[in-house]
C-alpha cells in the first residue's frame, strides 16, 4: 500500500504527457518515486511510459546504497511484490511460516544488499 506521503508526492509531481523531463541528478528520492508511480499508471493504462525514473531510483538503492531510495523502492513496489506472493502456488504454506509483510520486507532488504552485478555488497 502506498502511504499518504507518496500519494501527495505523486500529486505534486508535474504530469508530462508525451514530453517528459529527463531524470535530473538533483531529484530527491521521493520525487523519483512520485514519477515512478505516474509511469506505472501510464503502463497500466496502456499509455506511453518510460523506465528512466525507476532505473535511477534502483541505481541509487543498489549501486549507491542510498537507504532513502531503498525505502521508496519498497513503498513503490511493495504492492507488486505482494501481488507476486499472492499468486505463488505455495502461498498458504509460506504464510504459515511468516507474514506477507515480512516477505515484502525481506525482498526489499535483499535488493538493498545487491549491486547491479548481482553480487551481495559487504
Q: Where are the alpha helices (DSSP H) in 20-64?
A: 29-44, 52-62
The predicted model scores a pTM of 0.68
Q: What is the Rg, in whole angstroms, of the alpha carbon atoms belonging to the chain?
A: 15
Outline where DSSP puts E strands in 26-122.
none
Report pLDDT digits (tens) over 46-68.
999 999 999 999 899 888 888 89
d(CA 111, CA 88): 20
For every one of its 122 residues, what pLDDT tens digit does the chain have, with 9 covering 90 and above? 444 544 544 455 444 444 467 888 899 999 999 999 999 999 989 999 999 999 999 899 888 888 899 889 988 888 888 888 889 999 899 889 988 888 888 887 776 666 445 555 54
Amino acid at each position: 500500500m502506498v502511504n499518504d506521503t507518496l500519494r501527495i508526492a505523486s500529486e505534486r509531481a508535474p504530469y508530462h504527457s508525451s514530453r517528459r523531463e529527463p531524470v535530473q541528478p538533483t531529484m530527491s528520492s521521493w520525487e523519483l518515486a512520485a514519477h515512478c508511480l505516474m509511469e506505472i499508471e501510464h503502463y497500466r493504462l496502456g499509455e506511453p511510459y518510460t523506465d528512466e525514473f525507476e532505473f535511477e531510483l534502483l541505481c541509487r538503492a543498489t549501486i549507491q546504497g542510498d537507504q532513502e531510495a531503498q525505502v521508496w523502492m519498497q513503498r513503490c513496489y511493495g504492492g507488486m511484490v505482494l501481488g507476486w506472493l499472492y499468486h505463488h502456488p505455495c502461498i498458504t504454506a509460506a504464510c504459515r511460516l511468516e507474514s506477507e509483510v515480512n516477505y515484502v520486507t525481506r525482498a526489499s532488504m535483499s535488493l538493498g544488499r545487491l549491486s547491479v552485478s548481482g553480487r551481495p555488497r559487504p
